[in-house]
Amino acid sequence: MKNKPVLSFWQIWNMSFGFFGIQFGWGLQMANMSAIYSYLGARPGQIAMLWLAAPVTGVIIQPLIGQASDRTWTRLGRRRPYILVGAILASLALLLMPNSPTFWVAAGLLWVLDGTINASMQPFRAMVADNLPEEQNSQGFAIQSLFIGLGGTIASALPWMMTNWFGIVAEKAGQGHIPSSVTFSFYIGAVVFIGAVLWTVFSTKEIAPDESELSSLKNRKFDWTLGLGEIFRLTGHLPRRMWELGLVQFFTWIGMFCLWVYFSPSIAGHIFHANEGTVEMETSGTWAGFCFAMYNAVCFAFSFVLIKVTKYTGPKLMHTLCLAIGAAGLLTIPLMTGKYELLFSMACIGIAWASILSMPYAMLTPALPAGKLGVMMGMFNLFIVIPQVIASGLLGKVLEVFFAGNPMSAMVIGGVCFGIAALMTLFVVSYKHTRTVTAT
């Protein structure tokens, strides 16, 4: 195995910069898709099912792309070909999304968008681990988290900025019409996405495999299972720590799914008293995006706190506290009566979000064998997407049957799930840093 050179701050910065574009795409999607579905005529009970694209594509794409990139070497390197192709296709989906004539077309484009974003994101995380020596891993992922917060902040606020700073306002929201502020935001997002990824692709070099690995890659027989066989074989050999954190992730991501899908329709009725096709409907959608920008901005700022404080508290206690604060944020949303009061709830959620992006991985990594780090990290993402698949299929029905279709009830469900995740974090076993390298 080759020794990895220590990289400068700006080399790590360049390598991570593409994540700004990736998160820009995620931020536009998370902040605006529920509103887009509503503009195009979807009922509140249909929205959760229409979001099914996101988790399903994650289940399929992330492990397979991770496995495929492990077995690739080209002139562009190992990970960069997948990052580049995913970025090109995701940018095209961003351009097409605001021109959807119906919410079913928008749902199909969301499927494409999520699949291509996942195709870029999974190799991105692996590339940081590939190129950095162990002592720089924390710095690399910390800079990545900063770009996640920054990209999410700007992308989520962009429609609000279009309306309030540049005076771009749609004639009428709803009734099959997507506001111009949202449309132009998606166009800008497409340019930012591909531009940021191109910066990383052409400013970063990957460490070439040695001769024995190159020979192994060239002589590898075609895998008719496309990598699924090995993934299934590893399922029975996952470390105990991964299963424990998997339960934490299960409830955490149901909570986040409740926020992403139902926050916009929740405040439309509760705070803005909006009806379809009114100015209040558009105003509620742009304010929901601004609120998402708020929690991403807090995530960005709180990432610096995590870097400093976690070395004293440890990741388990820190994650427990942050999830508890996030639970308070979600549970207070139904209590708010004005739009500015919502910013307190968003600040609490932003603290939790910063921890969600980093602390589970900090707890998991020491328990993984180095030789299987990439594929197991990809499999760990299944604990993120499977709960969203379940929520996509059941949450709409739960709201209709038990809560009279009131979307605000999803905020309470999400807050309870965060609280459960916080309690379960306390039961994650301690694990000493004794990883060993195993052959692949």
Residue-range domain boundaries for the chain = 9-206+228-425
CB-neighbour burial class of residue 23 (10 A; exposed 0-12, middle 13-18, buried 19+): buried
Is the Cβ–Cβ distance between 207 and 131 less than 8 Å?
yes
Cβ count within 10 A of residue 338: 8
Note the pLDDT of residue 113.
Answer: 86
Fold of 9-206+228-425: Growth Hormone; Chain: A; (1.20.1250)
Note the pLDDT of residue 135.
Answer: 63
131: number of CA atoms within 13 Å, CB side?
A: 25
Question: Which of 198, 166, 197, 195 is closest to 181 using CA atoms?
Answer: 166
Distance in angstroms (rounded) separating the CA atoms of residues 384 and 391: 11
Question: Cα Rg for the chain, rounded, in angstroms?
Answer: 21
Is the Cβ–Cβ distance between 132 and 206 less than 8 Å?
no
* Residue written as token pair 């388990």: 316
Determine the 3-state secondary structure of 110 from DSSP.
helix
- Residues (pLDDT < 50) of the chain are 1, 173-174, 432-440
Give DSSP secondary structure letters for 275-334. -TTSHHHHHHHHHHHHHHHHHHHHHHHHHHHHHHHHHHH-HHHHHHHHHHHHHHHHHHGG
Residue 77 bridge partners (DSSP): 74
Note the pLDDT of residue 303.
Answer: 81
Tens of pLDDT, residues 123-134: 777 777 677 776
Give Cα 316 distance to the centre of its chain. 21
